[in-house]
Amino acid sequence: MLLAVDVGNSHTVLAVFDGDRVAGCWRVRTQPRATADELQLLWRGLLRDTEVTGVAACSTVPQLLPTLRQLLDRLEVPVTLIGPGVRTGVPLHVDNPREVGADRVVTALAAHELFGRRPDGTGRPVVVVDFGTSTTVDAVGPTGAFLGGALAPGVEVSLDALAARAAQLRSVELTVPTQAIGKNTVAALQSGVVLGFAGLVDGLVTRIAAELIAQFGVGPVVVATGGLHPLVVDSCRSIGEREPDLTVHGLRLAHQRHQAGGR
């Protein structure tokens, strides 16, 4: 089985694939100071007796990359660590391709393969909304090219920053409010954060979709992913699809392409 590991700023997602099917998935807190031995013990504890035949990984935490490489070098299976110089088959139509995070590249790959390809072989644009530490809204062209996107703070980051800077406000449980008009501080914060981010996403998607229609003559599929997507997605009017495991699916696809290319 293939192990896909997406190391994010807040959480690390590990998924085991049986073919193209997710056979198991775990989400743990990212520890930037973890050693290779600590990571290996964690992985073993989660995987138990699972026979891993390959590993695909990416990291958005530069501090953890040397440790991740050290662990991957110990493994006696084919390994693909996504980063500069590793071909994924995703053209990067941006000013500086090296600035694009590996997670955004493989997520774009999965978005195109799972949602952008039509049964007749033609393609359509995809907009990916990733709800994580940051909120990203990325555009993928009908041939699978990464076209760029928008970056905004994440829901939890914004709430923590507000609680830290405003003396009379505090962190609250993040839940979907029953109405927009909050009758107390907690309800008002929940409305502002959850519904406010839904409005932010809808506004960005509307603008990006208009640019894609002007360029390609067809509207995009809009897909939500990321660990915080269940909190906001139902309040968004612009999102039509959801796939919580989009990034690890992208790692699977990138690993398959990398191994098939013999690189």
Residues with catalytic roles = 103
DSSP code per residue over the chain: -EEEEEE-SSEEEEEEEETTEEEEEEEEE--TT--HHHHHHHHHHHHTT----EEEEEES-GGGHHHHHHHHHH-SS-EEE-STT---S--B-SS-GGGS-HHHHHHHHHHIIIIIB-TTS-B--EEEEEESSEEEEEEE-TTS-EEEEEEEE-HHHHHHHHHHH-TT---------S-SS-SSHHHHHHIIIIIHHHHHHHHHHHHHHHHHHHHHSSPPEEEEESTTHHHHGGG-SS--EE-TTHHHHHHHHHHHHHHHTT-
Burial class (CB in 10 A: 0-12, 13-18, 19+), 118: exposed
